[in-house]
């Protein structure tokens, strides 16, 4: 994934979890890092 797309999602392109998953949502190297990224994505979409 490129940094512009990650920012468009509302996430930090410099978050170390991106390296943790190998920038691969489908086959992440670290599934726990993917889980954290999903949590951040959802948290950023919730109102208030």
pTM for this predicted structure: 0.82
Instruction: Count structural domains, the chain.
Output: 1
Confidence of residue 5 (pLDDT cuts 50, 70, 90): confident
Residue 45: count of CB within 10 angstroms of its CB: 9
Cβ neighbors of 16 (< 8 A, separation 6 or more) are: none
Q: Which domain holds residue 39?
A: 3-45
**Mean pLDDT along residues 11-19:** 93
């Amino acid at each position: 994934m490129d940094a512009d797309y990650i920012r468009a999602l509302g996430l930090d392109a410099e978050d170390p979890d991106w390296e943790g998953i190998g920038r691969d949502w489908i086959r992440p190297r670290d599934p726990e890092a993917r889980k954290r990224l999903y949590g951040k994505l959802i948290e950023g979409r919730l109102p208030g």
